[in-house]
Structure 1
């Protein structure tokens, strides 16, 4: 006896909410036995129909809204991102770097050239009685002009490092600011950055003065022991200075980033840098040293052939040995060499300034879970929600017109 009820599909339902009827079994059609009960199979279990199987979620990589992915960075990522800063936003990075390096180089050359020319003219016109006094004044003038050139270079480098740090920070969250935007973000913090550079310069000058003074006093003894101890003092001073530069330079490497990105006061920026590096000294030191070596090697590979060709070019441009033609040829080659050195220096200083800023963000990710704050900020901004505070700012941040400090920012 067959079942005359119409068969419905398992996923269909009747209009009155009744359960669907099961299909006729083979036993009801060809025999008198009852149809075996079929237990339902949960979706996703072995043996379930393919239409009920749920796909297994795969691994999703961390987001990369801009310059770097939002997770702790490896060595390759830091090296690549240091180079990518130039390609990603060349006008405010390379353009400002070229402008600042040109001003620093021209200012230093003009100042040292004027002092050297005036000193040489005075020395040539001096009498024998005034020779010693003029020689001492000439030496002092040259030293002061060289120190001024070093100070000018430190100020220019500090300003550029601060701007590149801001570019790295805004590029991490996918922003691409122009020169005016970066300059507005840097307002109010350049003074603190220049002050930090001045402290570093004063410490270096005091250290050199102490070592030089002790060595001169030992040399003044005049005997063999004084000369030997003077030389040993100079060697020991150089080794101690090298050790302090590596040790303190690594612990204070994040001070410019804390000043500019986090907008902290100088005292807090120094302690902030020390706390971030503590426990990660050798990693920070190794990466910064590696980038410094790579940049200097590449720069030497480019500039050394230029110097050799410059020496050969002077002879080619003046085959007759004419003094006036030789001076013109030397001047042309010197200017070309200076221009190329400025261009190469503008590239290298951007890379060297970007590396500490990247390491600063990396250390905050590793120690503070800063990648989660960055991801939350990016997701909210992309969704049109501007109520999420800037993740870089903390309770101690100095307000600015570009990015005001927010009380509930992550500390």
Structure 2
């Protein structure tokens, strides 16, 4: 049975099953064939097996989604893969490639290449978004490090008054938490807009910054709620497993809690890793997005974990290559050299902080779109593998007779 929702039109608010005019009592059967119901005017029609599609498919216009919201998508080819040239489909033409990826199940190299290709070909939309977010985040981080860490150093000096030390620690922690909160907000906005840009790049459509903002803003509060829910869930899970050992001062129990919480959080992280693109592209709710991610990841957890881990390793190495040389030069030139490093003043020197911040801005501007792109393309790949989404994408891209067996 294929009960997955279709693509919602970016910018619309109705959630799954609430599209105006959508049938509310559509029967659900185990037949993998296309639904015989006709969508409302302006939506894509669903051909039945053996039926020749219309001679001219509607062209995808800016602002449109990838299919009718709440639709039923299946694969007329049967089996796991629904794409031309798949298993048992010898003699079929190669999969179409209207955008940055071919419309078939993707390999690791194609996912990484698609993420980089989108950043390269749509840099006018991608890089300004990440550059602005990275600059704001790093400026706030720089100020927090400069003043919060300076206060923290004074508070921990021998002979410091206890009350003054506690006040300094509170101010430092408040500044760091505030900077982290602003950084999280910036990351959420960037992720939302990048998701829309990558979704259009799959169809070969260009995007603008204003268009990405218009398409994503209706889901920003929900994306913030999703991020907050996942973060709180991880904190609560860690507290439940580690706090009992800390309260009883039992080192063994603390160690068991730490060893238990790491794999559990990792498992949940991958299980819900596709919730963000599901939330944005299907225009659904937070809990439905979590359910969609869980369903799409099921049975392929290790594959998605491997691709995600490799992506983080690659982007981490790229970021380190950019950031660390500038940080070392800044601490050596402006931080007093080894003496400043030993007494902790090198890390709070203005010159060292500015050079380190510039490196972090460059690194984040490059790394952020790659990470977001891999997540979006993993989501698309899983829907192609499980739900035959390649057929709907082909129609949305205006490709005629795609996926037909009758010629």
TM tier relative to shorter chain:
0.5 to 0.7
Which of 260, 274, 291 in structure 1 is aligned with 2:294?
A: 274
Paired residue for 1:71?
A: 104
CA 112–202 in structure 1, closer or farther in 2 if over 3 Å, else same: farther
Listed one character per residue, the Cα deviations across residues 242-293 of structure 1 (whole Å, up to 9, x for unaligned) are 2122201111011110111111111111101100111111111111111111
CA 243–179 in structure 1, closer or farther in 2 if over 3 Å, else same: same
Q: 1:89 Cα deviation (Å)?
A: 0.6
Listed one character per residue, the Cα deviations across residues 79-99 of structure 1 (whole Å, up to 9, x for unaligned) are 111211210111221110111
Paired residue for 2:381?
A: 362
Which of 261, 264, 269 in structure 2 is aligned with 1:249?
A: 269
Cα pair 1:108 1:152 within 8 Å, conserved: no
Q: How many equivalent residue pairs? A: 307
Which of 88, 91, 95 in structure 1 is aligned with 2:128?
A: 95
Listed one character per residue, the Cα deviations across residues 101-145 of structure 1 (whole Å, up to 9, x for unaligned) are 211222233345445556777889xx98xx333333433443343
Residues of 2 paired with 1:280 and 1:256: CA distance? 18
Q: 1:216 Cα deviation (Å)?
A: 4.2
Which structure 1 residue ranges, 5 or more long, are not aligned? Answer: 1-56, 220-228, 384-411
Cα pair 2:155 2:165 within 8 Å, conserved: no
CA 246–85 in structure 1, closer or farther in 2 if over 3 Å, else same: same
Q: 1:100 Cα deviation (Å)?
A: 0.8
Higher relative contact order (CA 8 A, sep 6+): 2
Q: 1:299 Cα deviation (Å)?
A: 2.2
Residues of 1 paired with 2:291 and 2:183: CA distance? 26
Which of 105, 118, 138 in structure 2 is aligned with 1:105?
A: 138
TM-score if structure 1 supplies the norm length? 0.66
TM-score if structure 2 supplies the norm length? 0.67
Structure index of larger Rg: 1
Bigger helix fraction: 1
Aligned CA RMSD, in angstroms, stands at 3.3
Q: Secondary structure at the match of 1:261?
A: helix
Listed one character per residue, the Cα deviations across residues 280-310 of structure 1 (whole Å, up to 9, x for unaligned) are 1111111111111111122223333333333
Q: Secondary structure at the match of 1:68?
A: coil
User: What does 1:10-29 correspond to in 2, within 5 Å?
Assistant: none
CA 81–314 in structure 1, closer or farther in 2 if over 3 Å, else same: same
Q: 1:236 Cα deviation (Å)?
A: 3.0
Listed one character per residue, the Cα deviations across residues 332-363 of structure 1 (whole Å, up to 9, x for unaligned) are 24312211111112211111111111010001
Which structure 2 residue ranges, 5 or more long, are not aligned? Answer: 1-89, 402-407
1:313 aligns with 2:333: yes
Q: Secondary structure at the match of 2:398?
A: helix
